[in-house]
Chains A and B, each alone.
Chain A
């Protein structure tokens, strides 16, 4: 082990090296590619601006469950990691073996708020359709390096007018929607939020079955502890209802609330607060929900949504470029035959068919050439 002065010196050298790597001089010398494009060739954990993480531990959360497997990955990020606020998520990029395609998905962070460069955990459920979640849960091994974004999202504890506060806090979660709330509760407890002086936390969670309940032991410990946190777990048929909520937290509309889970549950919760899931303003409710996967419904059905322009048109089956132009948009384009990549835009949701190859793709957050891709069913494009 290192002595304290040695460690201090090492930290100092690291910061000096880091500062140097991020300096304009080094940027000028490595232009136009940037210093990370050189560092990654030596060691993927060296980075000046990008964020990557090494998997240091993989824990199965529900080994006995017959349902979808859940695993917690402990990640050691690069020194570029700026830390996260409880409730935030991170984009994880993984190169799936065999295809060499890097797929990027968002996952909520399950550990308490982290400081720059500090380890954190992701708790991931392996969805049947989810190539990335299945890979991470079943095949991620210590030592593996993942690509990350910085932490993102406003479904957080600190952004809320409720903190720091002495008031009652309420969490309502369903399924794997428990992870951001878990991060918040863990943060509160770690930081000495002990439930005295009238500071209470109520944590309601709805899971498919007792076997599917993740963090069960920890939640039981939290519930039993002298901390003012009241944990209520509901399994199977016990679904969320306003009645149930009124019984547990009679003045729930006056309580700062975080709800996260499947879209259906979040809709019910929002209705109880008298707001919609997409606009909770005017209430004390904040929500985050997973979108149900869009199912392809034949080529010329559904809606084509242009996210940036906030416009929607009935899908005619023509190319996205033609449909955008018909809707009065003026997206950038070039050859109109798929060779020049001028019209590349991000498809955030839905399925598209390449009119040249007939190939269909349903990957979320995918760059597509809008001149040679037509929506199959409903589709959202960032135009």
Chain B
């Protein structure tokens, strides 16, 4: 049913969208948004969307109340709950109004995309592969026994018996005849397969501290969210490495802290291995992201990395992204090495992420090319 309010409501939502866009950078770089996400919805506080009026400043005013307590005791707290029959609020007074609006992550990603002018991502020509998918969408009078709809069948039988006067509540026996039988029916839907995998790699040597990890966490969250908009089935794999690499789950990825030497090549090797084993490039869009502070064990290993990228990784992926998070300890050499070797290769994208405020810019660098 459509309501008259829908138009006003959607204009309000547009205003909210505008406000979100204005403050997008702030929202994006807030880790708590990720923490607060429940299912797909995130609540975003939008201050000052109400109509401003001449008003007393809230804090000075105070007021009269009712209840127990002695002078000096706190009053109220938040005034979230309102009970009562009237349409209006029971109590006026304390508390500032910050409106919380629910936005789906999808919508937030769309706003992010518009704001950063991210292009829609080009598929690697895989939309030709069509999967057929069956979905049960209705009820039919004919069909195979295996799809018989038990409840509907008995309901039909009951209806028939009642209308014929053959049903007695004292002896509630319902016997379906063939005409009563009902079957589930399905529809075949063609859907283009557009699978993608993100392979996150992170250097977890001692210099990658909590702050650096938080940056990676926030940035990868938004990369995930954006790519999820582009692909139906998006998988994420996580690799951590110091001198050796291993695959871990998401939780471990963001919370492990190792130390010891750094051999970036170990991660790239494992990444190539993952692709070999699970993600045939003709069916998958592959996005490896590597985050580190830019220190590598030796120049030899760096050259080994370059080799691996050239031979094993780049030919099979949509793009290869390297994000260098600034840390007080790292030399930051690795990004320079990559730039030296791959300055002409469009598939390699590098980005330096100085601090949380730089996250948005870095996302744009990574995804802005529509790889």
Q: Do A and B bind each other?
A: no
Which residues of B come within 8 Å of A, CB atoms? none
